[in-house]
């Protein structure tokens, strides 16, 4: 991605790295309260066991928020994506941000650890990506008469408390709709590069854009409709609905990539390939094959590699939210 030293960094970044995350609160239970699982000690769970548990959840495509918000009658009745005023499709001037064509676990508590320079540089990058999502989605929402509420992005190390329970790094980046925040442990990007063979700065930006896509779904009321629909169906059908939601977030990430490039000329050669590769490497079928040697479609919660690539590409090629109605698609 093309960034310069004077490019804006978001002020909505909460850096909690080096702070303790406490025990692991497994999302679930009545009234939004979780089950506290102590770390270490007699009858407790070791850090290693915790990370293994989190890794299993991640690798099998289990979204910890599904446990919190309920799982699995039918596809939610989600209306068409908002329509925006159209503008001539041309590349916007860098200095005119309003010309957007096509708008339709845990570390022990204690003294804070020094942050390595590499992760400081990553924080700057993530802050700039988040600023870009703010600039695009503010304009998109304004175009159909709504106000965009900017999410906060929390950087943490090991584990951190959220309104959805305690998040741990092994879960990977995630969005909590109850506090409308995106949570990221920067260690994930090393995993994305080394373990999932998905290097590149735009691969990293794609992950942030996907989580912000979930925030857009929350603001539009889609997330609530999805959770209500899932509570009335079987686990198998609930997984199918969850896949639609995740693929829509991929599509919205593609819409953002298109509009952001029109707005700020961010894309460089190979960037979109990096995003498509990342989408492929974290598809349910790829993860299941890598971790268990076989593919179980009924257990999919995020979509196959091909589906994730296709919906990101659809959003990017159209640059319009109306292209992202996965819930009415004849074929995912």
Q: Mean pLDDT, the chain, as a whole number?
A: 80
Which residues, listed in sequence order, are joined to residue 154 by a DSSP beta bridge?
Answer: 14, 183
pLDDT at 235 over 70: yes
- Rounded distance between C-alpha atoms, residue 328 and residue 80, angstroms: 9
Contact partners, residue 299, CB within 8 Å, separation at least 6: 60, 61, 239, 284, 288
pLDDT at 35 over 90: no
Confidence of residue 268 (pLDDT cuts 50, 70, 90): very high
Confidence of residue 114 (pLDDT cuts 50, 70, 90): low
- Rounded distance between C-alpha atoms, residue 130 and residue 330, angstroms: 33
pLDDT at 39 over 80: no
Q: In angstroms, what CA-CA distances link 215 with 23, 152, 163, 179, 288?
A: 26, 10, 15, 10, 27
Asked whether 250 and 209 are in contact (CB, 8 A), the reply is no
Q: In angstroms, what CA-CA distances link 172 with 106, 149, 156?
A: 14, 24, 11
Confidence of residue 299 (pLDDT cuts 50, 70, 90): confident
Q: What is the mean pLDDT of residues 249-253?
A: 98
137: closest CA among 183, 100, 173, 174? 100
Confidence (pLDDT) at 85: 57
């Amino acid at each position: 991605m093309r960034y310069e030293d004077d490019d804006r960094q978001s002020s909505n970044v909460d850096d909690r790295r080096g702070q303790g995350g406490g025990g692991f609160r497994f999302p679930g239970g009545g009234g939004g309260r979780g089950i506290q699982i102590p770390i270490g000690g007699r009858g407790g769970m070791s850090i290693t066991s915790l990370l293994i548990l989190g890794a299993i959840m991640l690798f099998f495509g289990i979204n910890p928020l599904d446990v919190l918000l309920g799982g699995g009658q039918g596809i939610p009745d989600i209306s068409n994506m908002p329509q925006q005023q159209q503008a001539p499709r041309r590349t916007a001037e860098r200095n005119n941000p309003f010309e957007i064509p096509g708008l339709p676990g845990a570390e022990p508590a204690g003294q804070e650890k020094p942050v390595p320079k590499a992760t400081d540089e990553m924080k700057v990058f993530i802050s700039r990506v988040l600023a870009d999502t703010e600039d695009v989605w503010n304009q998109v929402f304004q175009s159909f008469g709504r106000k965009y509420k900017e999410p906060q992005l929390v950087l943490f190390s090991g584990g951190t408390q959220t309104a959805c329970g305690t998040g741990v790094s092994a879960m990977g980046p995630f969005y909590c709709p109850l506090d409308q925040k995106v949570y990221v442990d920067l260690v994930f990007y090393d995993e994305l590069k080394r373990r999932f063979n998905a290097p590149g700065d735009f691969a990293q930006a794609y992950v942030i854009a996907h989580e912000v896509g979930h925030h857009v779904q929350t603001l539009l009321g889609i997330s609530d409709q999805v959770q209500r629909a899932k509570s009335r169906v079987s686990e198998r059908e609930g997984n199918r609905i969850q896949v639609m939601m995740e693929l829509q977030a991929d599509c919205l990430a593609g819409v953002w990539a298109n509009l952001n490039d029109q707005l700020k000329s961010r894309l460089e050669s190979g960037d979109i390939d990096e995003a498509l590769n990342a989408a492929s490497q974290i598809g349910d079928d790829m993860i299941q094959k890598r971790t268990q040697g076989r593919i179980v479609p009924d257990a999919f919660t995020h979509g196959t590699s091909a589906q994730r690539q296709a919906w990101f590409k659809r959003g990017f090629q159209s640059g319009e939210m109306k292209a992202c109605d996965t819930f009415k698609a004849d074929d995912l």
